[in-house]
Amino acid sequence: MYRILMPLIVSIIFFGISSCSDDDDEPGKLDSLNASSWLGEVEIEELDYDSNNSLIRQEIYTTDEGLFNLIVLNDDKTALIKYQCDKTECNGNEYNGKWELIHNTLKVVINREELNALSDLIVIEGDIVQISAPELIIEVVFDAPSTSVAKRVRRLKYISVG
């Protein structure tokens, strides 16, 4: 009986320890389904390319306010930032946000204020904001008046390519 149970106990302990490791998580990757992943800050040093060598990175985040989509393109070193409201919160063009560029930092405040672009580096087409800057730090600040957390901040640093 002891000879049968001992290997089983050892294998259960070993499996439990190995399943707790985070070896498959890539550094700099954000959990798009975990809203708490917005707390803190991260610097992304490596850029991902698609088969056409054009798309560097596309991140889609789920937040309390809806979906936030960040796309960085390689061809002219521009970034596309798109925010989409949650369908239960708003529809069409009812969403508004405030966008600010201070030095090399794009500060994005998503709330119900009027949409403002404070730099000629930013081009607005509908709900897509295009930023033309070779190196840019993007700081995203979410207003959350309905929760106990007043703001959620995530800082993404994109290094210029080539």
Tens of pLDDT, residue by residue over 10-52, are: 566 555 444 443 444 433 333 332 322 322 333 333 334 444 4
Q: Is 83 part of any domain?
A: yes
CA angle 134, 139, 142 (to 5 degrees): 145
Q: Is 2 part of any domain?
A: no
Looking at the predicted structure, is the pLDDT value of residue 66 above 50?
no
pLDDT of residue 1: 58
Q: Is 63 part of any domain?
A: yes
Q: Is 10 part of any domain?
A: no
- The domain containing residue 49 runs over which residues? 28-158
Q: Is 17 part of any domain?
A: no
How many independent structural domains does the chain possess?
A: 1
Looking at the predicted structure, is the pLDDT value of residue 80 above 60?
no
Model confidence, pTM = 0.21
Least confident span in 33-37, 54-58, 72-76, 100-104: 33-37
